[in-house]
């Protein structure tokens, strides 16, 4: 595990008056922790989406040696690692050795050493060497979360509270809040710090006043003291962190959002219509308030507005590509997801599993404009209890429970129910009935011991993940799909399944008859079956230079370890998936582009894969514009650029109708009539833009 436990984090926090200098008492505590004769040992619990899922144990010896061990179980996946470190008097690692397995159970091994001023490191994913490396902090790729505590203490011990990082970057730390917290009846003075320079946004960490690691808290993955009541402690930590982030979010949103005082005419555009799949040259779009007021050829619309004496400002697209804002139909919103979405041209997105309170609060901030983010459509998540249950507190075992939660979600504006693998198959009928009664859709993983055919016949409107369709034909081989079997069985047998077979034709016909949609998340399976465990996902490497260095290091493919003798089968698995995807598209199955991965960049790759599968670029663009709007029943308001619909659109400095990879060249984003410059959004997260600022935006926003 790298220091980046989740790509979905907030943007960097600007310096403020709440930053305090390091205290002499804390310096003394850090020194004591590293160099005292006493042995320091602590146990922690790992909380995954509100449930205990593993543990971490750390020990610090008087000679500067430290050991760390951690493991957790996430539906049959999860890391397990043991590490030995040596720290010098400044708290900097001079040696690191880690062995174990990664999230997908592939083996990992990593070594780092600092000798005579030269640092060298080696892992399955990278190797390097740097001379004159004294004073640098090496950030391991694979290690327990406690490494964040080691880094925090080293940063605090630095006079500048900053350190150069290896292999690249600079880390900084700032104090944000002090609190008194009781744990198991014992008072603790704890301090919230933000570590900056590791990713898109700060890494929050809680230290004891003496420098010991107290906790790392998030709504998804948290490290808490073993003796703590997680249900009581975690909300207190998260609420404190959130308060410190909300003020900055509002300031950032105000800085980067441009609300025009007048109507705005976007001129000289190549305009894409996902309904007709046509692109018209030299068009103009009039944005008035939150909506599109008029569309026409540039000369005719400009003349008509002038004749009617309509007051407007002009933006010259200079024959750039203008299209509806993108949709990502499979996300799990975290602290930075919304900003990454907008920076990538995503103006609408669907969340399909999250902490309900956190998600509702975040959506409210998006809607109010106090946090940067797209429109969010809510999918209520539920599963059955058990050791491999999904990441949710909503676990149902009886029909009455399931019906209660469907109603609960409906009352809070959720548009969809997503079920998961541990749900009892016999509950699907009841959930579908109540969901449909509430005007909601039903989708999800196909529950274990149930086929996709049975899932659709029971009332499912949509299936998440392309592998679930392959598993329809593997129920005799892999009836229990709650663990990684739902991946490995597909890796071994996908090549045996193709659209020319009667059994596959029958499933496609069933999906046609029921208008069943598919959320393929193809790019995940590209990494899983065609990638290598310690390499970036195939097709994503060209994005790595654009993101902060520690993000690029941790952006791995999630590849499965290939069983001996299955190399050829796994090599054919993903191409077989793309062939089925093309057959489904040709049969008219609604396909909605979703990622379930890093926002923005992953959506670009998802659309590229659709083109590799055989869709034309304009067909691929439809899966991320009009089709998801139709699936969610909002195509009368979103998904196209026509008068009366909301002004959700993007301007691209390229021609994605001819080269789908140009989709990444987003230059201007408009969400409900609010304008955002993609370059500025990207800069604020440490992402390197590849296009110039959109000329004339500031002038067009003036009264």
Res 14: pLDDT: 28
Say if 63 falls within a structural domain.
yes
Q: Which of 636, 670, 693, 691 is CA-nearest to residue 265?
A: 670
Q: Pick from 208, 238, 255: which residue ends a domain?
A: 255
Assess contact for 604 and 541: CB atoms under 8 A.
Answer: no
Out of 227, 255, 283, a domain closes at: 255
Structure token digits, residue 291: 């909506």
Taking alpha carbons only, the member of 99, 49, 668 closest to residue 344 is: 668
**For each successive 10 residues of the chain (703 residues), what is the average pLDDT?**
38 28 41 50 92 95 94 93 96 97 92 96 92 96 95 97 95 95 94 93 93 93 95 94 87 94 96 98 98 97 94 96 98 93 98 94 96 97 94 94 98 98 98 98 98 98 98 97 96 98 98 98 96 87 89 86 95 98 98 96 97 98 98 98 98 98 98 97 94 92 88
* Separation of alpha carbons 603 and 524, rounded Å: 11
Proportion of the chain in helix, strand, coil states, percent, rounded to 5: 30, 30, 40
Tell me whether residue 368 is in a domain: no
In a domain? residue 287? no
Q: In whole angstroms, what is the distance from residue 281 CA to residue 283 CA?
A: 6
Distance CA(602)–CA(594), nearest Å, equals: 9
Token digits of residue 479: 């009836």
d(CA 699, CA 578): 46
Q: What residues does 190 pair with on adjacent strands?
A: 179, 208
Query: What does the pLDDT look like over 521-553, one tens digit per residue?
Result: 999 999 999 998 888 888 888 888 999 988 888
Residue 463 lies in a domain: yes
Q: What is the DSSP string of 455-498?
A: HHHTT--EEESTHHHHHTT-TTT----SSTHHHHHHHHHGGG--
E strands of 336-464, at which residues?
Answer: 346-351, 375-382, 416-419, 441-444, 462-464
How many CB atoms are located within 10 Å of the residue 567 CB?
A: 10
Does 688 reside within a domain? no
Domain annotation covers residue 616: no
- The full 3-state SS of 28-64, as one line of letters, equals HHHHHHHHCCCCEEEEEEEEECCEEEEEEEEEECCCC
**In a domain? residue 430:** no
Q: Identify the sign of the CA torsion 257, 263, 269, 271.
A: positive
> Tokens 């691929």 correspond to what residue?
620
Give residue 39's pLDDT.
Answer: 64
Structure tokens at 42: 């602590």
Residue 567's SS3 state is: helix
- Reading the block at residue 344, the tokens are 């990538």
Tell me, letter by letter, the H, E, C secondary structure of 153-195.
Answer: HHHHHCCCCEEEEECCCEEEEEEEEEEEEEECCEEEEEEEEEE
Domain extent at residue 222: 24-255
Cα pseudo-dihedral 447, 496, 492, 390, rounded to 10? -10
Residues paired with residue 112 on neighbouring β-strands, in sequence order: 96, 121
Residue 385, CA atoms < 13 Å, CB-side half-sphere:
4
Half-sphere exposure of 492 (CA within 13 A, CB side): 17
Burial class (CB in 10 A: 0-12, 13-18, 19+), 573: buried
> What one-character DSSP code corresponds to residue 533?
T
Using the 3D structure, point to which of 528, 558, 591 is the last residue of a domain.
591
Structure tokens at 466: 């392309």
Q: What is the pLDDT of residue 156?
A: 97
Tell me whether residue 681 is in a domain.
Answer: no
Number of domains in the chain: 2
Pairing of strands 186-196, 203-208: antiparallel
């Amino acid at each position: 595990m790298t220091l980046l436990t989740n790509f979905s984090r907030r943007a960097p926090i600007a310096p403020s008056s709440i930053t305090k200098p390091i205290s002499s008492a804390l310096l003394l505590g850090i020194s004591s922790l590293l160099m005292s004769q006493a042995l320091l040992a602590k146990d922690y619990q790992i909380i995954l989406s509100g449930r205990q899922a593993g543990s971490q144990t750390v020990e610090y010896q008087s000679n500067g040696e430290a050991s760390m061990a951690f493991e957790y179980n996430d539906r049959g996946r999860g890391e397990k690692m043991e590490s030995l470190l040596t720290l010098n008097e400044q708290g900097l690692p001079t040696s690191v050795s880690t062995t174990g397995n990664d999230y997908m159970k592939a083996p990992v091994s990593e070594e780092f050493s600092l000798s005579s001023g030269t640092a060298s490191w080696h892992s399955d994913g990278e190797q390097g060497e740097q001379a004159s490396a004294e004073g640098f902090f090496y950030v391991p790729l694979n290690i327990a979360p406690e490494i964040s505590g080691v880094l925090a203490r080293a940063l605090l011990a630095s006079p500048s509270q900053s350190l150069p990082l290896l292999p690249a970057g600079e880390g900084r730390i700032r104090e944000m809040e002090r609190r008194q917290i009781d744990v198991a009846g014992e008072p603790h003075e704890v301090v919230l710090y933000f570590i900056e320079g590791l990713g898109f946004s700060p890494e929050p960490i809680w230290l004891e006043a003496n420098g010991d690691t107290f906790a790392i808290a998030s709504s998804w993955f948290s490290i808490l003291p073993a003796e703590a009541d997680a249900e009581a402690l975690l909300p207190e930590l998260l609420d404190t962190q959130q308060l410190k982030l909300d003020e900055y979010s509002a300031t950032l949103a105000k800085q980067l959002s441009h609300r025009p005082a007048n109507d705005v005419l976007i001129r000289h555009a190549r305009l894409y219509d996902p309904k007709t799949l046509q692109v018209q040259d030299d068009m103009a779009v009039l944005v008035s308030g939150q909506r599109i007021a008029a569309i026409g050829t540039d000369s005719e619309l400009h003349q008509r507005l002038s004749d009617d004496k309509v007051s407007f400002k002009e933006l010259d697209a200079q024959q750039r590509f203008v299209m509806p804002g993108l949709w990502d139909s499979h996300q799990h919103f975290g602290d930075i997801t919304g900003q990454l979405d907008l920076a990538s041209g995503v103006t609408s997105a669907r969340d399909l599993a999250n902490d309900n309170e956190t998600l509702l609060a975040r959506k409210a901030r998006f809607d109010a404009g106090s946090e940067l983010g797209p429109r969010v459509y809510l999918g209520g998540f539920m599963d059955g209890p058990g050791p491999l249950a999904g990441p949710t507190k909503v676990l149902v075992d009886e029909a009455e429970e399931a019906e209660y939660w469907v109603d609960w979600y409906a009352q809070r504006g959720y548009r969809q129910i997503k079920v998961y693998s541990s749900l009892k198959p016999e509950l699907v009928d009841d959930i579908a009935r109540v969901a449909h009664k509430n005007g909601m859709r039903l989708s999800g993983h196909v529950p274990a011991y149930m086929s996709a055919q049975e899932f659709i016949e029971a009332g499912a409107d949509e299936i998440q993940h392309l592998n679930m369709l392959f598993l329809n034909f593997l129920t005799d081989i892999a009836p229990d799909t709650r663990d990684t079997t739902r991946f490995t069985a597909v890796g071994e047998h996908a090549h045996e399944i193709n659209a020319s077979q009667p059994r596959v034709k029958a499933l496609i016909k069933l999906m046609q008859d029921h208008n069943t949609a598919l959320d393929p998340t193809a790019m995940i399976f590209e990494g899983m079956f065609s990638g290598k465990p310690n390499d970036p996902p195939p097709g994503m490497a060209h994005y790595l230079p654009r993101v902060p260095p520690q993000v690029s290091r941790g952006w791995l493919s999630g590849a499965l370890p290939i069983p001996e003798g299955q190399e050829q089968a796994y090599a054919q698995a993903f191409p077989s998936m793309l062939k089925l995807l093309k057959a489904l598209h040709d049969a008219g199955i609604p396909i909605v582009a979703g990622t379930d991965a890093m926002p923005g960049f992953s959506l670009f790759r998802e659309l590229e894969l659709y083109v590799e599968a055989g869709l034309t670029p304009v067909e691929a663009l439809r899966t991320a514009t009009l089709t998801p709007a139709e699936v969610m029943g909002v195509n009368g308001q979103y998904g196209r650029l026509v008068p009366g619909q909301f002004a959700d659109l993007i301007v691209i400095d390229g021609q994605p109708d001819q080269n789908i990879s140009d989709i990444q060249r987003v230059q201007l984003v408009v969400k409900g009539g609010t304008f955002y410059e993609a370059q500025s959004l990207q800069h604020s997260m440490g992402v390197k833009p590849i296009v110039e600022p959109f000329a004339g935006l500031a002038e067009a926003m003036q009264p």
